[in-house]
């Protein structure tokens, strides 16, 4: 339905502004897209006031604007600072300081009063004093995310423990956290419902035991990768409200430990024991036997097969919605049992499973008609027959992964295009049977948003043009090593797929500057991988830099013909760039310095083997960006040629250097 806004001259009483505030708020809340809200804000003062009042969530990238924004939005409930690279204790202190008495602007501390959720992921500059200030200033704090703050440890945990109302806490990869810190949190935040401690390698059974004794309301606990033993499972089994348990890749957990879970955790709905080397079918029998209402079972890459005894128990899992048993050997009996008893399945993961046959799949999908996600990566025996069966039975299919299933041809894709019209994601990497005809059929799935066609050497510009005409919602497209794709295909793509955000053109060596000019028309593009495009020059790169204003991630390794003009353009236009790979490019010293110095959001750079630069040039470039760069990859011999001073500065600022 085409909406044509009519232009009428209004009597002032019928103006939309005469609507009351709550009605305007209702309208505003319907505008979910950020671009619409930005327009709304600019219309007039009243609309901006509505925007300020209603805004509950703020995610900030530029730290300079933070004080202004926090002053404008008094009713914030959630604040996301994970994209601010320079947030540290000093900044926090500034934000929380009250403006002097008698001044006109409101005191800055206001914004913290109602704040419920705080995301400080990767805020490596922050320390315990900053955290203490925040927890004291935000009395309503319920959810905190400090994941990937690798330097965080027990002192930071102590700061967090003063947030008494805390319900959710994410401390993934807080590497210095030990049992002492965990104990402080357990005692201080007794209302905790959700806790994630992935990769906090210093945690032991002692810490987990105290946690389970103090935080009895825990519903979600993730201890993946930790070196905890079966004793922890004994403690965890006492958590009466636990619904989700993450034990991925826990090396010391085994079948004996899972025995505790059989009689414990009565509310358990989701369990993840993927990659646990000590777990086998016997261990899972305990889990399944004790929890017939299990909703999600993740046992990828740990089971060698589904034993008969386990299958027998699985007959009771009538409510199972998700099962992932990647890497296991699957028998015909397995398919029979699952299809007879687990008809509520919505997601099935059989990636790299042995024994997946057409017959088995057909049996499975005819029973599990509500299937939305199906992963058959590397199930090489699958042919068009299975795909047709899937398409015909599972009309609600949203995601299909069939990487390396190279017997699939356009016949299977025709069936998908006819029946699975809700399909959003499909992975056809390395499916050499996919051709232009197949893409024509597939393009009927107009909801497609993620399409992976890496290594599909039989597709050409013609196939891509079908996608460009019909799949207008595409966000992500992978054309890795699709050597048949050239400039004409990119033209078709840029005409239709305006929402494209992520594109991989690596090794599509027919692409030239003309093709990149079309790429420059994709205004939403943020992630571009274009390795080894030997025909492109500075002209092409400039077109991309100028046009793709949201570009954040660029990988142009081995694009050896690109000259400085392209890099100058990058330095000037690509203000949103956060990660760049310039390895093996012919960038000069000056251009390198401009790129590293000018792009203030750049956090990661790969600069291996720059044929046109010198050691001095690299040193200068590193100095220009040392304040904010977080990760850099350099040519190994430079380790002894760069001054120790620059290496020390980088190290002191927390920058990680890798040598290649």
Partner 1 sequence: MLLSKNSALESKDNEIFEVEESIAIQSELIKTMTTMVNSKAYVNERNQMVPEARCRKQANYHVEQNNKIVDEELSDWESKFFEVDMDDLHELFMAANYLEIESLLNGVTKRVGDFIKACKNVEVIRQTFGINNDFAAQQEEEIRKLNSWNHI
Q: Is 55 in the site for partner 1 (CB under 8 A)?
A: yes
The one among 21, 39, 332, 380 contacting partner 1 by CB under 8 A: 39
3-class DSSP assignment, residue 299: coil
> With CB under 8 A, what is the number of residues at the site for partner 1?
45
Cβ of 322: how many Cβ atoms within 10 Å? 18
Q: Is the CB of 40 or the CB of 507 nearer to partner 1?
A: 40
Q: What's the CA gap between 61 and 234, in Å, rounded? A: 44
Question: For residues 285 and 313, is the Cβ–Cβ distance under 8 A?
Answer: yes
* Closest distance of CB 549 from partner 1, Å: 9
3-class DSSP assignment, residue 284: helix
Q: Which stretch binds partner 1 (CB under 8 A): 61-69, 156-164, 412-420, 485-493?
A: 61-69
51 token code pair: 């925007």
Site for partner 1 in 448-477 (CB under 8 A): none
Q: Which residues contact 477 (CB under 8 A, 6 or more apart)?
A: 450, 451, 452, 453, 467, 493, 497, 500, 502, 503, 504
* Closest distance of CB 240 from partner 1, Å: 39
Q: Is the dihedral of CA 648, 652, 653, 656 positive or negative?
A: positive
Contacts 24+ apart (CB under 8 A), 135-140: 135/159, 135/160, 135/162, 135/163, 136/162, 137/96, 137/109, 137/112, 138/112, 138/113, 138/163, 139/113, 139/165, 140/113, 140/114, 140/115, 140/116, 140/165
Q: Is 36 in the site for partner 1 (CB under 8 A)?
A: yes
* Closest distance of CB 1 from partner 1, Å: 6
Q: Is 33 in the site for partner 1 (CB under 8 A)?
A: yes
Q: Is the CB of 68 or the CB of 627 nearer to partner 1?
A: 68
Packing angle of the helix pair 255-263, 281-290 (nearest 10 deg): 10
Question: For residues 516 and 541, is the Cβ–Cβ distance under 8 A?
Answer: yes
* Closest distance of CB 599 from partner 1, Å: 14
Per-residue mark of binding to partner 1, 67-86 (x: CB under 8 A): -xx-------------x---
Q: Is the CB of 155 or the CB of 473 nearer to partner 1?
A: 473
3-class DSSP assignment, residue 546: helix
Question: For residues 516 and 508, is the Cβ–Cβ distance under 8 A?
Answer: no
Question: Smallest Cα–Cα separation from 274: which of 242, 300, 252, 310?
Answer: 300
* Closest distance of CB 6 from partner 1, Å: 6
The one among 49, 59, 263, 292 contacting partner 1 by CB under 8 A: 59
Q: Is 31 in the site for partner 1 (CB under 8 A)?
A: yes
Q: Is 644 in the site for partner 1 (CB under 8 A)?
A: no
Q: What's the CA gap between 576 and 553, in Å, rounded? A: 9
3-class DSSP assignment, residue 653: coil
Q: Is 27 in the site for partner 1 (CB under 8 A)?
A: yes
Question: Which H/E stretch holds residue 294?
Answer: none
Q: Is the CB of 14 or the CB of 103 nearer to partner 1?
A: 14
* Closest distance of CB 4 from partner 1, Å: 8
Q: Is the CB of 56 or the CB of 609 nearer to partner 1?
A: 56
* Closest distance of CB 62 from partner 1, Å: 5
3-class secondary structure for 40-71? Answer: HHHHCHHHHHHHHHHCCEEECCCHHHHHHHHH
Q: Is the CB of 7 or the CB of 652 nearer to partner 1?
A: 7
Q: What's the CA gap between 554 and 577, in Å, rounded? A: 8
Q: Is 104 in the site for partner 1 (CB under 8 A)?
A: no
* Closest distance of CB 16 from partner 1, Å: 4
Q: Is the CB of 29 or the CB of 645 nearer to partner 1?
A: 29
The one among 1, 102, 644, 652 contacting partner 1 by CB under 8 A: 1
Site for partner 1 in 547-576 (CB under 8 A): none
* Closest distance of CB 639 from partner 1, Å: 37
Packing angle of the helix pair 589-598, 564-573 (nearest 10 deg): 10
Q: Is the CB of 76 or the CB of 174 nearer to partner 1?
A: 76
Packing angle of the helix pair 179-188, 205-214 (nearest 10 deg): 0
The one among 21, 42, 636, 643 contacting partner 1 by CB under 8 A: 42
Q: Is 523 in the site for partner 1 (CB under 8 A)?
A: no
Q: Which residues contact 354 (CB under 8 A, 6 or more apart)?
A: 328, 329, 330
Q: Is 534 in the site for partner 1 (CB under 8 A)?
A: no
Q: Is the CB of 55 or the CB of 275 nearer to partner 1?
A: 55
Q: Which residues contact 8 (CB under 8 A, 6 or more apart)?
A: none
Q: Is the CB of 37 or the CB of 558 nearer to partner 1?
A: 37
The one among 49, 53, 54, 61 contacting partner 1 by CB under 8 A: 61
Q: Is the CB of 46 or the CB of 277 nearer to partner 1?
A: 46
Site for partner 1 in 6-25 (CB under 8 A): 6-10, 14-20, 23
Q: What's the CA gap between 202 and 196, in Å, rounded? A: 14
Q: What's the CA gap between 78 and 333, in Å, rounded? A: 50
Q: Which stretch binds partner 1 (CB under 8 A): 58-66, 220-228, 243-251, 348-356?
A: 58-66
Q: What's the CA gap between 45 and 68, in Å, rounded? A: 17
Q: What's the CA gap between 647 and 626, in Å, rounded? A: 10
Site for partner 1 in 258-297 (CB under 8 A): none
* Closest distance of CB 656 from partner 1, Å: 25
The one among 3, 100, 102, 103 contacting partner 1 by CB under 8 A: 3
Q: For binding to partner 1 (CB under 8 A), which residues are involved?
A: 1, 3, 5-10, 14-20, 23, 26-27, 30-31, 33-34, 36-45, 47-48, 55, 57-62, 65, 68-69, 83
């Amino acid at each position: 339905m085409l909406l044509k806004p009519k232009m009428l001259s209004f009597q002032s009483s019928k103006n939309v502004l005469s609507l009351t505030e709550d009605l305007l708020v209702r309208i505003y809340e319907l505008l979910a897209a950020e671009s619409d809200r930005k327009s709304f804000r600019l219309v007039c003062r009243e609309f901006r006031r509505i925007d300020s009042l209603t805004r509950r969530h703020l995610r900030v990238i530029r730290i300079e604007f933070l004080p202004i924004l926090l002053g404008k939005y008094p009713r914030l409930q959630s604040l996301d600072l994970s994209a601010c690279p320079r947030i540290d204790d000093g900044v926090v202190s500034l934000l929380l300081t009250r403006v002097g008495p008698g001044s006109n602007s409101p005191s800055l501390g206001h914004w913290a009063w109602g704040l419920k959720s705080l995301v400080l992921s990767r805020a490596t500059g922050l320390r315990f004093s900053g955290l203490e200030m925040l927890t004291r200033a935000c009395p309503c704090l319920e959810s905190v995310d400090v994941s990937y703050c690798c330097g965080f440890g027990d002192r930071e945990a102590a700061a967090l423990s003063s947030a008494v109302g805390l319900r959710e806490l994410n401390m993934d990869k807080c590497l210095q956290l030990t049992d002492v810190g965990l104990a402080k949190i357990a005692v201080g935040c007794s209302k905790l419902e959700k806790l994630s401690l992935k990769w906090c390698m210093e945690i032991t059974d002692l810490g987990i035991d105290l946690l389970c004794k103090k935080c009895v309301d825990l519903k979600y606990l993730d201890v993946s990768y930790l070196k905890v033993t079966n004793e922890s499972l004994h403690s965890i089994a006492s958590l009466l409200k636990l619904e989700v348990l993450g034990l991925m890749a826990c090396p010391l957990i085994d079948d004996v430990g899972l025995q505790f879970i059989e009689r414990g955790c009565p509310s358990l709905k989701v369990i993840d024991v993927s990659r646990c080397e000590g777990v086998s079918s016997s261990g899972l029998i305990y889990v399944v036997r004790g929890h017939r209402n299990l909703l999600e079972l993740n046992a990828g890459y740990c089971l060698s097969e589904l034993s008969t005894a386990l299958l027998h128990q699985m007959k009771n899992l009538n409510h199972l919605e998700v099962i992932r048993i990647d890497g296991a050997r699957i028998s015909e009996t397995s398919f029979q049992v699952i299809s007879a008893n687990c008809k509520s399945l919505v997601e099935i993961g059989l990636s790299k499973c042995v024994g997946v046959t057409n017959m088995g799949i057909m049996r499975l999908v005819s029973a599990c008609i509500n299937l939305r996600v199906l992963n058959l990566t590397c199930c090489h025996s699958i042919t068009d027959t299975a795909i047709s069966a899937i398409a015909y039975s599972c009309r609600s299919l949203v995601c299909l992964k069939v990487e390396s299933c190279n017997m699939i041809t356009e016949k299977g894709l025709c069936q998908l295009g006819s029946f699975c019209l809700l399909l959003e994601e499909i992975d056809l990497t390395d499916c050499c049977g996919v051709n232009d005809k197949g893409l024509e059929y597939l393009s009927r799935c107009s909801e497609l948003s993620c399409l992976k066609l890496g290594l599909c050497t039989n597709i050409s510009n013609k196939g891509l043009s079908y996608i460009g005409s019909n799949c207008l919602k595409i966000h992500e497209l992978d054309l890795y090593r699709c050597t048949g794709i050239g400039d004409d295909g990119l033209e078709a793509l840029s005409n239709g797929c305006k929402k494209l955000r992520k594109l991989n053109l690596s090794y599509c060596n027919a692409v030239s500057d003309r093709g990149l000019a079309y790429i420059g028309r994709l205004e939403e593009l943020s992630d571009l991988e274009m390795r080894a495009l030997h025909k492109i020059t500075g002209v092409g790169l400039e077109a991309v830099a100028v046009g793709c204003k949201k570009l954040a991630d660029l990988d142009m390794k081995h694009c050896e013909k690109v000259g400085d003009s392209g890099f100058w353009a990058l330095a000037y236009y690509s203000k949103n760039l956060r990660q760049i790979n310039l390895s093996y490019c012919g960038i000069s010293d000056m251009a390198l310095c401009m790129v590293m110095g000018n792009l203030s959001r750049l956090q990661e750079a790969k600069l291996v083997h720059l044929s046109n630069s010198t050691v001095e040039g690299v040193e200068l470039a590193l100095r220009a960006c040392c304040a904010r760069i977080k990760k850099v990859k350099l040519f190994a011999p430079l380790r002894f040629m760069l001054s120790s001073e620059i290496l020390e500065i980088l190290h002191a600022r927390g920058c990680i250097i890798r040598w290649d």
